[in-house]
């Protein structure tokens, strides 16, 4: 008889392909950022590229690059550990053998080893939903979820202002930073962002003509309304159903930061203000971060109180 083809939905092919696609996505985002960084480095004017500045910039870039690598290594280890624990829990619930050693057999135990059943695991376990469920599971866990989302929202506004307006970086680069913050971790993306900042002391006008003058800033409500809705919406999660809670969390984590980072490029000019000088423009942006910080502090105290009660 001809061999029977295994069911692809229960084989390891699809899970391995999905995990590989995630790695390729991250690699593509990093490549986009490196391409912009290289272009910025090549277009540095002589006045910003003296020997003294080169030596100082090299030291600072090495520090941020090292921190970025450390952050990526830590995030990767945590991501792999979480998936391994999820697989072990699923296997034990199904009375399946669980590999616990890479030295005896092929990634398993005993002489013949224990094969991984990634297809069945992914059929039964929704990893995306499971990850979101952990974030809203209890008030104690939600303390960290609040800090993560607050940091992501604030960093997205900062990246949009610094990269999108003051340095005139491409939209693809801004999106890459935000997606890396959401997929790989905020620390990793921020350190890469600071590396790029070191090579862009002036706007990249050669990449794309500036859309607006640097004295133009969005009105604070452009940032505050979606940010406040996201943060307040997160804090009512323990009081709503699980499906709705996960949906609100996903919107606050994925959609709102992307909008905040691209708001400078997306909103019409009538939603902003043209200031007479740089100090006035900075003061308008300070207002946004001031109210966000105050709201975040109040919500954090509220969540800590609920956790301790």
User: 103-112: per-residue pLDDT in tens?
Assistant: 443 444 444 5
> The whole model's pTM is what?
0.86
Instruction: Supply the pLDDT for residue 280.
Output: 85
As given in the structure block, the two tokens for residue 168 are 């005139």
Instruction: Supply the pLDDT for residue 278.
Output: 83
Residues in the chain where the model's pLDDT stays below 70: 1-10, 97-115, 136-138, 205-211, 237-242, 309
Domain extent listing, the chain: 9-308
Instruction: Supply the pLDDT for residue 233.
Output: 83
What letter would DSSP give residue 240?
A: S
How many angstroms separate the CA atoms of 213 and 221, rounded? 20
Instruction: Supply the pLDDT for residue 138.
Output: 67
Cα 132 → chain centroid:
14
Rounded to the nearest 5°, which phi and psi values hold at 106? Answer: -85, 100
């Amino acid at each position: 008889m001809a061999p029977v083809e295994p069911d692809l939905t229960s084989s390891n092919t699809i899970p391995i392909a999905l995990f590989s696609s995630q790695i390729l996505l991250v690699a593509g985002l990093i490549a986009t950022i490196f391409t912009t960084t290289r272009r910025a480095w090549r277009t540095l004017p002589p006045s910003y590229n003296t020997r003294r500045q080169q030596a100082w910039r090299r030291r600072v870039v090495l520090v941020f690059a090292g921190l970025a690598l450390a952050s990526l290594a830590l995030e990767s280890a945590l991501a792999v550990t979480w998936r391994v624990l999820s697989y072990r829990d699923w296997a034990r619930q199904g009375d399946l053998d669980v590999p616990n050693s890479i030295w005896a057999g092929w990634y398993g135990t005993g002489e013949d080893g224990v094969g991984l059943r990634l297809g069945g695991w992914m059929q039964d376990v929704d990893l995306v939903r499971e990850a979101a469920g952990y974030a809203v599971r209890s008030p104690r866990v939600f303390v960290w979820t609040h800090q993560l989302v607050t940091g992501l929202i604030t960093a997205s506004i900062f990246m949009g202002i610094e990269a999108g307006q003051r340095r005139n970086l491409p939209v693809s680069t801004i999106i890459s930073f935000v997606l890396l913050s959401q997929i790989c971790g905020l620390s990793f993306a921020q350190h890469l962002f600071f590396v790029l900042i070191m090579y862009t002391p002036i706007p990249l006008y050669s990449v794309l003509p500036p859309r607006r003058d640097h004295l133009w800033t969005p009105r604070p409500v452009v940032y505050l309304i979606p940010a406040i809705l996201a943060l307040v919406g997160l804090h009512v999660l323990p009081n709503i159903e699980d499906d709705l809670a996960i949906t609100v969390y996903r919107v606050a984590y994925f959609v709102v930061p992307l909008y905040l980072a691209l708001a400078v490029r997306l909103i019409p000019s009538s939603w902003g203000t043209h200031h007479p000088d740089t100090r006035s423009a900075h003061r308008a942006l300070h207002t946004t971060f001031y109210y966000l910080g105050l709201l975040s502090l109040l919500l954090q105290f509220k969540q800590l109180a609920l956790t301790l009660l």
